[in-house]
Chains A and B, each alone.
Chain A
Amino acid sequence: MASEGRDGSEELMATAGAPRGDGIPMRPFGRHDQNISALGFGGHHLGDAPDEGTAIRIVQEAVDSGITFFDNCWEYHRGKTENWMGKGLKGRRDKVFLMTKVCTHGREAMIATRMLEQSLNRLQTDHLDLWQVHGVGWDNDPELFIRPNGAAEALLKAKKEGKVRFLGFTGHKDPAVHLKMIETGFPFDAVQMPLNAFDAHFQSFAEQVLPELSRRGIAALGMKPLSGHGEPIVNGELSAEEALRYAMSLPVATTITGIDKLEVLRQNVKIARNFKSMTTAEMQALRERTRQSAGDGRYELYKVSLRFDNPEARLAHGFPLDDQSVEVKEMMKATENTGFPFPDVKQQQQ
């Protein structure tokens, strides 16, 4: 499947950025003079924590354990996870590399700028380390992004104003759309994508996008190391540790994984602290195990269905909503009409 060259570079990259003592390994953020933790804290799952107090404790312990990369998104749980992360990072902001995402989904720059102010406010900070365009997956997203008055203009403006240090985009759908986005020529610092042992066989981001990023010195941010909600682990296809180790052994700056409980945090931190890159042979052996069930996308529903597409994106693109999704349920509860796309989640709803 993979060429020798790719596997060789995997090992090289994954071992680069030596661990600090017995801490979580740090790795370079693309072409920049900046290191980030090889394990990243996924923001969406934080909203699944039972309450605000627990969420704050999870964030605090994550920072204290040596995780520096924090992921979030304007539309996760309609603002709740940004709020909770902001509270958790109080007094620890300067220890982390803070990222959130903007959810224009093709809409104009003004909406992006307004979302940035809301994100900064919720995260209780005056700047982001990384601001990314969220959920690029529809075929016309790249052209809508780069058009005059598109989100691209808002990104550049925010960087110029010092509100964000670096820029990027994320998506889980189709490597071809990622490549189209890169080909717009926009100066991206980071690109986020699903990377796991199933992706290797099926519409593969690892095969199609990773080499392009490394050529351009763009930081690769892996996500969905456990395929989103850990379905293949539940079904016994591989263990959580194998899945996470595989993803972290790819040539990425960080692997973002969702954390909704202290136990999950501790388990992931332990794996990351003991992390040794898989050998080429180990990775190949794992890929052989996943080959058959990877072939139809059953463990990567984010590529083949709307399951992981948030309502903000579906509405902007005129797609049907899923009334079982947590964001739609939260949206239904919101009654305030501000005239803007969707009302904020109010403090009392948290």
Chain B
Amino acid sequence: MADLKGFTRRKFVHGSAAALTATMVVKPSLAAATGGGVTDNQEQVPHRPLGKTGAQVSALGVGGFHLGSIEEEKESNELVARALDAGINFFDNCWEYHDGISEARLGTALKGKRDQAFLMTKVCTHGRTKDVAMKQLEESLRRLQTDHLDLWQIHEVVYYNDPELIFAANGAAEALLAAKQQGKVRFIGFTGHKNPAIHLKMLSHDFPFDTVQMPLNALDGTFKSFEQRVLPEANKRGIAVLGMKSLGGSGEIVSRGALTAEEGLRYAMSLPVATTISGMDSLGVLEQNLAVARGFKPLTADAMQTLRERARPVAADGRYELFKTTTKYDGKVGREQHHYPTEEKLPV
């Protein structure tokens, strides 16, 4: 039985950039379709508009979970500093990642550089009330050593009754509005990795979400597809889309040989999204991601179709998108609130 926990992305990220680039024909017109803002500077990660908010974010974002996986704080500080230098301004995080360690790490790393970053974290009510959310916000702000967030999102909307709990009277949706009104957060959104139908149910409430985060990768393109079902709806509404899980969550897409890491990341970044959030647990992974993201030019529609078709046979049963088909990526707090067994009692 393959144990994916043993993998880290650095082990299977290959330097096949040249090989792939040689087969690609880049149409400049497509850059506009992906949200524009692509600069000519080959050394920097391009910035794109964040929906209709007026803000600009880097096309590659640093995932917060993996920051907490790095052993030495020195290295996470270095990773954040180098990311900023390369033009990355989008930093993801979450109240429940590593029980707060991820937020604390990022807070430390951004000390004195807060104004260079577009800072996002997530709130983990998982169906609980507004006051729980507001308390978590204060904790997040304290750990992140800031007085405001650029973006605050409801985390992990993956249980089928989450939308009704979130929009119930005194639910998390009210907390988002209150925080925005109080000036503690600039923009608001939600995230989830399970089912496009749940995302659409959230959007159907016509709540003023600025952003929505979802898994987007070449396999998703043909299986329970956020790309097909949610991305166009969000674009239509002017809600910025934040992509995640470009390699399957723990690199399953790459480690099982469906695509190379570069193909996977390139595909995700070529979609009409504001940013693609990638977990980076070492400087090596950051550099490999930057090799793709610096001066990024989107793949052509044909090249994307080729990748989708190549991945289709293994996409069709969700074996490498375990966040959709298993409880593997459902966090501890959400399981508790929804009375699901713990990870130990309900393994993948």
> Assuming A139-B223, A140-B316, A202-B160, is B1 touching A323 (CB within 8 A)?
yes
Q: A297 near B159 (CB under 8 angstroms)?
A: yes
Report B-chain residues with C-beta under 8 Å of the C-beta of A305: 326-327, 346
Assess whether A321 is in contact with B1, with CB atoms less than 8 Å apart.
Answer: yes
Q: Is the CB of A318 within 8 A of B161?
A: no
Q: Does B340 sit at the interface, judged by CB under 8 A?
A: yes
Kindly state whether residue B314 has any CB partner on chain A within 8 Å: yes
Residues of chain A touching chain B, judged by Cβ–Cβ distance below 8 Å, are: 106, 138-141, 143, 202-203, 293, 295-298, 301, 304-307, 317-324
Given the known A-B contacts A318-B314, A320-B1, A324-B347, are A298 and B326 also in contact in the complex, defined by CB atoms under 8 Å?
no
From DSSP, what is the main secondary structure of chain A's interface residues?
loop
Within the assembled complex, what's the spacing in Å between the Cα atoms of A110 and B317?
22
B81 an interface residue at 8 Å Cβ cutoff? no
Taking a contact as CB atoms closer than 8 A, the residue among A293, A304, A306, A317 that contacts B339 in the complex is: A293
Selected contact of B2 from candidates A320, A322, A323, CB within 8 Å? A320
B338 CB, min distance to chain A CBs, angstroms = 5
Closest to A298 in B: B339
Interface size band for B = 20 to 34
Contact: B319 with A317, CB < 8 Å?
A: yes
Which residues of A lie under 8 Å from residue B1 when comparing CB positions? 320-321, 323
Verify B317–A317 contact, CB threshold 8 A. Answer: yes
Residue among B317, B318, B341 with the highest chain A CB neighbour number at 10 A: B317
In whole angstroms, how far apart are the Cα atoms of A312 and B48 in the complex? 46
Query: Is B9 part of the contact surface with A, judged by Cβ < 8 Å?
Result: no
A296, A307, A321: the one within 8 Å of B159 (CB): A296
Q: How far is the CA of A295 from the CA of B201 in the complex (A)?
A: 14
A138 to B338, CA, bound (A): 24
Q: Is B348 an interface residue (CB 8 A)?
A: yes
Bound CA span A321–B347, Å: 9
With A296-B338, A298-B338 as known contacts, state yes or no: A322 contacts B347, CB within 8 Å: yes
Taking a contact as CB atoms under 8 Å apart, the answer to whether B346 and A307 are in contact is yes
Q: Are B160 and A296 in contact, with the CB atoms below 8 A?
A: yes
Most interface-central of A304, A306, A319 (chain B CB within 10 A): A304
Kindly state the separation between the CA atoms of A204 and B89 in the bound complex, as whole angstroms.
44
Partner of B160, one of A295, A301, A317, A320: A295
18 A–B contact pairs at CB < 8 A?
A139-B316, A139-B318, A140-B317, A203-B160, A296-B161, A296-B162, A296-B338, A301-B341, A301-B346, A304-B327, A306-B326, A306-B327, A307-B346, A318-B319, A319-B326, A320-B326, A320-B348, A322-B347
**Within the assembled complex, what's the spacing in Å between the Cα atoms of A288 and B207?**
29
